Amino acid sequence: MTLYKQIALMLSLFLLTILSTVLVLNFQSANKGVQERLYEDAKNNATLLSLSLGSANGDISMMSTMINANFDSGNYRKITLVDVESNPLYERVLESDITAVPQWFKELISLKAPVAFSNVSAGWSQVGILSIQSDSTYAYKQLYAILTDLLISFAVITIFSLVALNLLLHAVLKPLKDVQKQAAAITRNEFIIQDNIPYTKELADVVIGMNNMVAKVKSMFDKGNQELKVHKELEYIDENTQLKNRKYLIDKLPSFLKIDASYKGGISMIIAFDGIIEANEKIGHKNVDNLFLAVADIFKKNTKGMKEPVVARINGTEFCLLLPDCSSSDAVELAKNIQKHCFNAIDSAGLEQNETFVSIGIYEYNHKDSIAELFSRSDNALAQAKFKHEHIHIEKANSVIEVMGKEAWRLLINKAIDKERFSFVSWSVIDTKKEKLTHNVLSIHLILDKNSSYSYAQFMAPAIQSGLSSEIYKKIVHMLFNNSLALLSASIYSLRLPQEYLQEKDTYSNINELLRANAAMLPFKLIIELPDKLVRQDSKEIRAYIELFRRYGIDIGVFEFIGESDDYQYLQELRPSYIKAEASYFLTQSTQSISSLRLITDSVGISLIAVGVSDLDTLESLKEKDIHIIQGEVTESIELP
């Protein structure tokens, strides 16, 4: 219960107690006054009527007439006249009962009408004794009217007091609400500075303290953000040409060399300049640097408009163009065009083409290549190019012998989608420092029958080639939300959603409908993992997804992080639960870069997770980098308490 509700309840009860006490005391006073008035009226009427009866000189008929006249004109319950020996002479009794007030009121308020006595005398001779009992009906009416007025007044005063109390509490506790909002923002890792300092000293001290804390945390984030940007430029950017460097290329390659990569393959093109030592002697280092600047511009212009090209300088004389989804024929034409423009740049620098020349090795890779295999075969293609007259050579990856052809895969996958022949499997993510399981990563198998199935690595590449990957994710997301009770049993699961699926036209509306119908019934906590290259775009679409997931209490994770953003403010705005990067990324980062990244993530409560950890040696190396949360084959050999 909130402090406002507690104070409001306490003061309301106190107010109601006071008003109720006043109501009861007022009513009791009125009741006592009515009782006394009943007796006084009976006594006065008995005295007056006895004087009138005395004038009748003992005539019973005349006295009865007088009694009837008084009875009919007054409020009497009973009038009795007896002689001196208590023998009844005349009596008049009201036969009807009280009907002017509710029965519950009569039971609640018991009025006993008093009886007044008076002697009736004719001269010095006593005729008898007169007794009068007043009718309590009018007393009940009067008391009921008083009670009604008191209740109405009580209700009006109560409502007015509660409204005034509510307004007063809102005014007094408004600064506290602002403090509460600021505290809630801090738990969400949001940086909110409260400008309005409360007048109440205790609250003012709290606000000033929280403002100072938030300012320090924000300063930490900004400092880490700035440092990481600087280190990124130092570690990822070639100083002379402003192209990406070899380290960036190595960190970027895993996103292209994976089973569910956006493109099934592409081109790795190594461009080498020979005769640079002689060129430095002939035209000087500065002019050679200018030559490489011109060459970098040639690479950028020739790859402009291609799908996600990576242009990197891998050493002093060699450059690499990584071109996903580029065919071998297009690569050869591109190489010839680049070579021609490079020779023109060499001529413009005052160098001879027979002394300074360009060799281009082209390797057509596929997703099954490792980074080492890609570099090795690219270098081999470059070596072959140097011995050719045109200085261009192309090599292709060994043809992969598929168990089934493309059409057979298409039919099998379509059938699996129609029949929901997918099963969920999970892999552990372990915090080795705290020795606990942080969550489970969901993957899928394609089920053939009870005894056989294809793993994600086996069927996803053919699915991407057939254009069915988004349909598969559409189906498994549907299965996840509609059959969660039967499929999964752990407490926290994460599901990775690829960029291609998220950018499909109907994906947002489908997920929105599934969440609206099923999110409240999920028996586990769900984390949706989004690709870093999509998240950092901060597009309208990605903001819509983030808002949707948060609306239904679903956390967000980021995968394929390599720190290539120009600004890491998006991490503070997104506030993911964790960032996942390849183990190789963390291991190749400098201590300063890791410290800067830690400064950012720790200030907003983001965990760092290394994926693809396959052996204990890699695990120990990660621990030396202060990376303790891991995902990969090595988790199977870790025993948790």
Please say if the pLDDT value at position 119 is more than 90: no
Average pLDDT of the segment spanning 107-112: 74
Record the tokens describing residue 213, joined without a space: 């804390």
Residues in Cβ contact with 465 at an 8 Å cutoff, skipping those fewer than 6 apart: 264, 406, 409
**Length of the chain counted residue by residue:** 641
* Per-residue confidence (pLDDT) for residue 497, from 0 to 100: 93
Please say if the pLDDT value at position 403 is more than 60: no
294 exposure class (CB count in 10 Å sphere: 0-12, 13-18, 19+): middle
* Per-residue confidence (pLDDT) for residue 398, from 0 to 100: 64
pLDDT tens for each residue of 316-370: 999 999 999 898 899 999 999 999 999 999 999 888 888 888 999 999 998 778 8
Q: What Å distances lie between residue 237 and 273, 314, 412, 564, CA to CA?
A: 20, 11, 45, 10
Please say if the pLDDT value at position 635 is more than 50: yes
- Cross-sheet strand order for the sheet of 76-82: 88-93, 76-82, 125-134, 115-122
Average pLDDT of the segment spanning 170-185: 73
* Residue 180, phi then psi, degrees to nearest 5: -60, -45
Please report which helix (H) or strand (E) contains residue 510, including its range. helix 507-518
Please say if the pLDDT value at position 243 is more than 70: yes
* Residue 263, phi then psi, degrees to nearest 5: -125, 140
User: Cα–Cα distance between 475 and 407 in angstroms, integer?
Assistant: 20
Angle (CA) 600 606 608, round 5°: 95
Asked if 257 and 365 touch (Cβ cutoff 8 Å), the reply is yes
* Domain ranges across the chain: 3-159, 244-396, 406-637
| Secondary structure (H, E, C), 574-618 | HCCCEEEEEHHHHHHCCHHHHHHHHHHHHHCCCEEEEECCCCHHH
Average pLDDT of the segment spanning 369-380: 89
Q: Which of 186-200, 256-270, 293-307 has the lowest mean pLDDT?
A: 186-200
Domain 406-637 has CATH 3.20.20.60: no
pLDDT tens for each residue of 4-56: 677 778 888 888 888 888 888 887 888 788 778 877 887 888 888 888 887 77
- Cite the beta strand spans of 448-479 per DSSP E: 453-454
* Cα–Cα nearest to 355, from 457, 278, 434: 278
* Per-residue confidence (pLDDT) for residue 401, from 0 to 100: 43
**Residue 106 neighbours by CB distance under 10 Å:** 15
Note every long-range contact of 75-79, with CB atoms under 8 Å and residues 24 or more positions apart, other chains counting. 75/41, 75/134, 75/135, 75/137, 75/138, 76/45, 76/132, 76/133, 76/134, 76/135, 77/113, 77/133, 77/134, 77/135, 77/136, 78/131, 78/132, 78/133, 79/49, 79/130, 79/131, 79/132, 79/133
User: Cα–Cα distance between 185 and 225 in angstroms, integer?
Assistant: 20
| Chain mean pLDDT for the chain | 85
* Cα Rg of the chain, angstroms: 47
* Cα–Cα nearest to 109, from 24, 40, 19: 24
* Cα–Cα nearest to 365, from 261, 458, 508, 469: 261
Highest mean pLDDT among 15-29, 175-189, 262-276: 262-276
User: What is the DSSP code string of 51-88?
Assistant: HHHHTTTT-HHHHHHHHHHHHHHS-EEEEEEE-TT--E
Residues in Cβ contact with 315 at an 8 Å cutoff, skipping those fewer than 6 apart: 246
User: Beta strand 244-245 with 310-313: parallel, antiparallel or unpaired?
Assistant: parallel
Look up tokens 């998220």; give the residue: 502
pLDDT tens for each residue of 553-600: 999 999 999 888 878 888 888 889 999 999 998 998 888 888 888 888
* Per-residue confidence (pLDDT) for residue 210, from 0 to 100: 75
Asked if 398 and 391 touch (Cβ cutoff 8 Å), the reply is no
pLDDT tens for each residue of 491-512: 899 999 998 899 888 999 999 9
* Per-residue confidence (pLDDT) for residue 204, from 0 to 100: 76
pLDDT > 90 in the chain, percent: 30
Please say if the pLDDT value at position 240 is more than 50: yes
Where is pLDDT greater, at 322 or 205? 322
CA dihedral 298, 301, 304, 308 (to 10 degrees): 20
For residue 87, name the pLDDT band (cuts at 50, 70, 90): confident
Q: How far does Cα 249 stand from its chain's mean position?
A: 36
pLDDT > 70 in the chain, percent: 95
Angle (CA) 77 80 83, round 5°: 170
Look up tokens 């005395």; give the residue: 54
* Cα–Cα nearest to 320, from 328, 311, 331, 308: 311
* Per-residue confidence (pLDDT) for residue 117, from 0 to 100: 86
User: Cα–Cα distance between 66 and 52 in angstroms, integer?
Assistant: 8
Q: Which of 17-21, 211-215, 543-547 has the lowest mean pLDDT?
A: 211-215
* Per-residue confidence (pLDDT) for residue 400, from 0 to 100: 46
For residue 229, name the pLDDT band (cuts at 50, 70, 90): confident
Please report which helix (H) or strand (E) contains residue 233, including its range. helix 201-236
Residues in Cβ contact with 28 at an 8 Å cutoff, skipping those fewer than 6 apart: none
* Residue 638, phi then psi, degrees to nearest 5: -95, 125
Q: How far does Cα 246 stand from its chain's mean position?
A: 39
Q: What is the DSSP letter of 218?
A: H
Record the tokens describing residue 415, joined without a space: 């059938």
User: What is the DSSP code string of 293-325?
Assistant: HHHHHHHHHHHTTSSS-EEEE-SSSEEEEEEET
User: Cα–Cα distance between 100 and 103 in angstroms, integer?
Assistant: 9
| Superfamily of structural domain 244-396 | Reverse transcriptase/Diguanylate cyclase domain (3.30.70.270)
* Per-residue confidence (pLDDT) for residue 187, from 0 to 100: 65
505 exposure class (CB count in 10 Å sphere: 0-12, 13-18, 19+): exposed
* Per-residue confidence (pLDDT) for residue 487, from 0 to 100: 57
| Secondary structure (H, E, C), 169-180 | HHHHHHHHHHHH
Please say if the pLDDT value at position 466 is more than 80: yes
User: Cα–Cα distance between 558 and 574 in angstroms, integer?
Assistant: 10
Highest mean pLDDT among 423-437, 458-472, 588-602: 423-437
Average pLDDT of the segment spanning 224-229: 75
Residues in Cβ contact with 534 at an 8 Å cutoff, skipping those fewer than 6 apart: 499, 502, 503, 542
Please say if the pLDDT value at position 98 is more than 60: no
Asked if 372 and 341 touch (Cβ cutoff 8 Å), the reply is no
Asked if 580 and 559 touch (Cβ cutoff 8 Å), the reply is yes
3-state secondary structure of 134: strand
* Per-residue confidence (pLDDT) for residue 641, from 0 to 100: 81
* Per-residue confidence (pLDDT) for residue 533, from 0 to 100: 87
For residue 188, name the pLDDT band (cuts at 50, 70, 90): low
3-state DSSP percent of the chain in helix, strand and coil, to 5: 55, 20, 25
